[in-house]
């Protein structure tokens, strides 16, 4: 039987999955629907199950999921419940269980890696990301495709059977930025909002032709916890004292509450920075966007560029300072190539290809 491509797309990634389906059709010059008919119904007590309504036996199956989508709801226990990452992760297991080992190959496309911020143990704490990856390996998932993993070395948790492929959306972000913004590359300065983002800032600066880059350093008070986090006591810029007239790209993997990146933008503005663009792979806005609206109205930053690899509410995407960057073509190319047994390197981290594309978009 033909090893045919099949996409399984739960509600948490429905719009993106439909985009990927269309892009695969564009790549292959077909009009086929690759998306499998399936359901994830809930019982009234909140328990769930998965039902797959068509055969996937001996097929090449790709599960696309966004564990960050908090606007997927279900009715249980006399109210409407919003799904959280743990529930989305459980649905992945349900889907794998419903497939029942019949797929010829099973690949999980999870751009925002589940529990990626709990990837190491420094005190007596859980190793959630490693345990989740090992569970997928036991379920015979052949490969996991993720993007901008908080700590890519978590791959070491699954060194045997399951392939761990970590891609970056840098090319899509910077290409979209250069098309939409009238900037002089030579007047740009790339900044990481903390030491963890330093290597990302350097990478982007190198891709842009070796322009200047810097970073912030922050120190936390580990005796005080606020909203589940150790309070930041010190957040200072490691770079030039004066940035008069310089345009800034604040570059990181994620916006969570936004506290760190907004504080960085404010400090850079105080040093004379001209325009400040925030650029991230994932924009969670866990505390909402009120603070971002306030800082935008005060002229502290100009735009936030983020991808559609993780959920952002439509009302946030409609804000004048937010730019959503579509990465569905990249994911479609990865899936199509894997299905055809071709390399996916250039779509994950093809530095040379990225540099060449950015070069064609530069404005001096």
DSSP state string for 235-298: EEEES-S--TT-EEEEEEEEESS-HHHHHHHHHHHHTT---EEEEEEEE--TT-SHHHHHHHHT
What per-residue confidence (pLDDT) applies to 222?
Answer: 52
Give the neighbor-by-neighbor strand order of the sheet with 5-8: 5-8, 60-64, 105-109, 143-147, 163-167
Q: What is the DSSP letter of 30?
A: -
**Which domains does the chain carry?**
5-167+327-342 (3.40.50.2020), 170-326+356-361 (3.40.50.2020)
If you compute the radius of gyration of the chain from its CA atoms, what whole number of angstroms results? 21
DSSP state string for 36-55: --EE--B-TTS-B--EE-S-
E strand or H helix at 307, and its extent? Answer: strand 303-307
Quick check: pTM over 0.95? no
Per residue, the 3-state secondary structure of 328-353, as one string, reads HHHHHHHHHHHHCCCCCHHHHHCHHH
What per-residue confidence (pLDDT) applies to 294?
Answer: 97
What per-residue confidence (pLDDT) applies to 72?
Answer: 95
Distance from C-alpha of 8 to C-alpha of 17, rounded to nearest angstrom:
8
What per-residue confidence (pLDDT) applies to 1?
Answer: 39
Cα–Cα nearest to 222, from 211, 208, 233: 233
What per-residue confidence (pLDDT) applies to 364?
Answer: 47
pLDDT, mean of each 10-residue run, the chain (364 residues): 84 98 97 96 93 96 97 91 96 97 96 91 88 95 94 90 92 92 90 84 87 82 55 73 92 92 94 96 95 97 97 97 97 96 86 70 57
């Amino acid at each position: 039987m033909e090893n045919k491509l099949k996409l399984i797309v739960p509600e948490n990634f429905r719009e993106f999955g439909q985009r990927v389906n269309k892009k695969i059709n564009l790549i292959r010059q077909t009009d086929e629907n690759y998306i499998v008919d399936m359901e994830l119904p809930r019982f009234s007590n909140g328990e769930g199950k998965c039902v797959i309504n068509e055969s996937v036996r001996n097929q090449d199956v790709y599960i696309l999921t966004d564990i960050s989508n908090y606007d997927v709801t279900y009715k249980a226990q006399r109210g409407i419940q919003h799904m959280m990452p743990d529930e989305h992760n459980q649905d992945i297991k349900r889907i794998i269980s419903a497939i029942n080992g019949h797929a010829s190959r099973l690949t999980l496309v999870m751009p925002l890696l589940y529990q990626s911020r709990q990837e190491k143990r420094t005190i007596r704490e859980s190793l959630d990301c490693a345990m989740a990856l090992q569970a997928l390996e036991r379920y015979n998932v052949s490969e996991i495709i993720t993007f901008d993993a908080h700590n890519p070395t978590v791959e070491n948790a699954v060194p045997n059977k399951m392939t761990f492929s970590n891609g970056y959306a840098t090319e899509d972000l910077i290409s979209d930025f250069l098309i939409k913004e009238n900037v002089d590359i030579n007047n740009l300065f790339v900044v990481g909002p903390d030491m963890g983002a330093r290597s990302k800032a350097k990478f982007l600066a190198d891709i842009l032709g070796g322009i200047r880059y810097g970073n912030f350093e922050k120190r936390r008070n580990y005796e005080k916890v606020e909203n589940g986090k150790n309070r930041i006591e010190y957040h200072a810029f490691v770079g030039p004292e004066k940035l008069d007239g310089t345009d800034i790209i604040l570059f990181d993997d994620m916006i969570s509450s936004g506290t760190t990146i907004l504080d960085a933008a404010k400090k850079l503005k105080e040093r004379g920075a001209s325009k400040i663009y925030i650029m991230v792979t994932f924009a969670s806005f866990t505390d909402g966007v009120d603070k971002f609206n306030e800082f935008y109205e005060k002229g502290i930053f100009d735009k936030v560029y983020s991808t559609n690899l993780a959920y952002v509410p439509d009302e946030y995407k409609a804000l004048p300072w937010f730019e959503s960057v579509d990465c569905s073509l990249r994911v479609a190319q990865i899936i199509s190539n894997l299905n055809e047994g071709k390399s996916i390197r250039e779509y994950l981290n093809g530095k040379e290809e990225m540099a060449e594309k950015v070069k064609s978009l530069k404005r001096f």
